[in-house]
Amino acid sequence: MIQMTRQFATAASQQSMRIKSIRKAWFSRSSLQWDGRISMVQGASRGIGLEFVKQLLERNGGNVIATCRNPLESTGLNELKAKFSDRLDILKLDITDENSIQASSNSIKEKFGHLNLLINASGVLSIPDVLHPETTLRKVEKSSLMLAYEVNAIGPILVTKIGGDTDIEGGFAVVANLSARVGSIGDNGLGGWHSYRASKTALNQLTKNLAVEFGRRKDQIVCLLLHPGTVDTDLSKPFQKNVPNGKLFTKEFSVQKLLNVIDSAKISDNGKFFAWDGQLIQW
Ligand SMILES: NC(=O)c1ccc[n+]([C@@H]2O[C@H](COP(=O)([O-])OP(=O)(O)OC[C@H]3O[C@@H](n4cnc5c(N)ncnc54)[C@H](OP(=O)(O)O)[C@@H]3O)[C@@H](O)[C@H]2O)c1
């Protein structure tokens, strides 16, 4: 935990009083809305993560912290920075590097004190010459399983751990982890994609576990798992051939729908797995 300077501590305590009064109004047994002021999008260089940053900034207020591995290389983020310079902070964070997660966490706590929304959007399905979605058990390799687990399951949980290991002022109201319907065991009728599927299933269980633990805290934090649909991004490009007409979403459409799910999240939604249209997905 960072050492706060006296000045920061005073500012944080004033802010904490404001947050407490807002929380009293926002949090109740039947409903909850994150207050929209400080959001972090992890995995924001492109695709769905970048679109979340854009749509959050296009709202009337609130700060957004966008993290990615190579900030200088993300044209999309740098264009947003030029347009929303006061409300967007870009930090370097590689989800496989705990030091970089800790460094981002430190600078967020130093500048903002807390988060109201954390979206873990990073993910990996295939990497040319490194990671191939397996069509059969014969193609399963330890290195692919490990890489998919590291990026898709372990990373988001470490980000949430470092952010969530704080009191109410240092906490956040909604954690939204980007999962995938293929991570559902009950829905698995096709098989294949062993590494990706299993890593998303692991993310689901780890997030459900967090939800149970966070549910016991006084300061309620709602954890959601979100399936964005099949979205036209780099991740889905090699697999779009067989997507039925009308089922390949734009990232604009998918993120609009996912933000509706986040905006309408209630305490009773803690630990649930939702599709883009708000429908529950079986485990
Ligand atoms: N697109 C779909 O149809 C679909 C369907 C279901 C679920 N999802 C899920 O939705 C999420 C977003 O997917 P997308 O379609 O936007 O994918 P994408 O366009 O391929 O973007 C993937 C993002 O993950 C980041 N990333 C990968 N490894 C990372 C690491 N080690 N550290 C930090 N960031 C890392 C990438 O950063 P770099 O630019 O640095 O590589 C990029 O920002 C993923 O979790 C994916 O599994 C997508």
Between the CA of 213 and the centroid of ligand 1 the distance, in Å, is 27
3-state secondary structure of 231: strand
pLDDT value of residue 164: 62
Distance 47 CA to ligand 1 centre (A): 7
**Structure confidence at residue 28 (pLDDT):** 34
Q: Which atom of ligand 1 is nearest to the CA of 181?
A: 6
Q: How do the domains of the chain map onto residue ranges?
A: 32-275
Distances (CA, A) of 235 to 15, 87, 125, 211: 39, 28, 6, 27
pLDDT for the residue numbered 99? 95
CA 281, chain centre distance (Å): 18
CA 109 to ligand 1 center in whole angstroms: 25
Q: Which of 42, 69, 91, 154 to mutate to test the pocket of ligand 1 (most atoms within 8 A of CB)?
A: 69
Using most ligand atoms within 8 A of CB, pick from 69, 70, 99, 122 the residue to mutate for ligand 1.
122
At residue 35, the pLDDT reads 64
> Quick one: how far is CA 114 from the chain centroid?
16
CATH class of 32-275: alpha beta
Which residues of the chain fall short of a pLDDT of 50? 1-31, 167-171
